Amino acid sequence: MPDTSRLFFALWPDDETRQTLTCLKRSLPSKDFKWVQPHNLHVTLVFLGHVDPATELSIKQSVNDISAQPFALTFDSLSYWSKPRVLCLSCKQVAPEAAKLAAELDIRVRANGLPTDSRPYIPHITLARHACHLPDIKFEPIAWRAEAFCLVESCSEAGGVRYKVIQQWPFINPTANLD
């Protein structure tokens, strides 16, 4: 598609969370998987698909007034999803703030004429693609502190795909000095 970008809204990890996820991946006992590169680890909020520049600008403007408090997600379950053949981390309990943010972004994206996924929102971190089984491993839950959401572009490169943060919207910090 000429002059479009493949976009999605996501939570982007801080360096410490990314390092923790990378260590967990290294501990998994399978060499058959196609591992997601550390710089691509994220939590998708809403997938937009191919978007032209005018719609991208409109969507960016439409989400400027979204306000959210920082929240935490606890990734405490390793899952294998057979249909897409992915190995991912998920949450046994979804933070209500995450579901609310994903729903609000979904409304804004649909208001700009783009279709979105109608399935219930499930926060997850894809660790590997082309997976064929669920490794049997115990691990410490991973806490992810969300303090912003991002618009991310999926860029095809010679070595595979690379995700690039286009814009970030920080959440409200209730402890900030409002003088």
pLDDT per residue as tens, the chain (179 positions)? 569 999 999 999 999 999 999 999 888 876 778 889 999 999 999 999 999 999 999 999 999 999 899 999 999 999 999 888 899 999 999 999 999 999 999 999 999 999 999 888 999 999 998 888 888 888 999 999 999 999 999 999 887 899 999 999 999 865 555 44
Cβ pair 78, 134 in contact under 8 A: yes
178 falls within a domain? no
Number of compact structural domains in the chain? 1
How much is the pLDDT for 86? 92
How much is the pLDDT for 12? 97
Q: Residue 140 carries which DSSP code?
A: -
How much is the pLDDT for 179? 47
179 falls within a domain? no
Q: Which of 17, 84, 58, 87 is nearest to 151 (CA)?
A: 58
Catalytic residues: 42, 124
User: What is the widest separation between alpha-carbon atoms in the chain?
Assistant: 55
CATH of the domain at 54: 3.90.1140.10
Compute the distance between CA of residue 123 and CA of residue 151 in angstroms, rounded to an integer.
16
54 falls within a domain? yes
Q: 54-78 burial, b if ≥16 CB within 10 A, otherwise e?
A: ebbebbbeebeeeebeebebbbeeb
Q: Report the predicted TM-score, pTM, of the whole model to 2 decimal places.
A: 0.91
175 falls within a domain? no
Domain enclosing residue 11, as ranges: 5-170
How much is the pLDDT for 29? 73
How much is the pLDDT for 174? 53
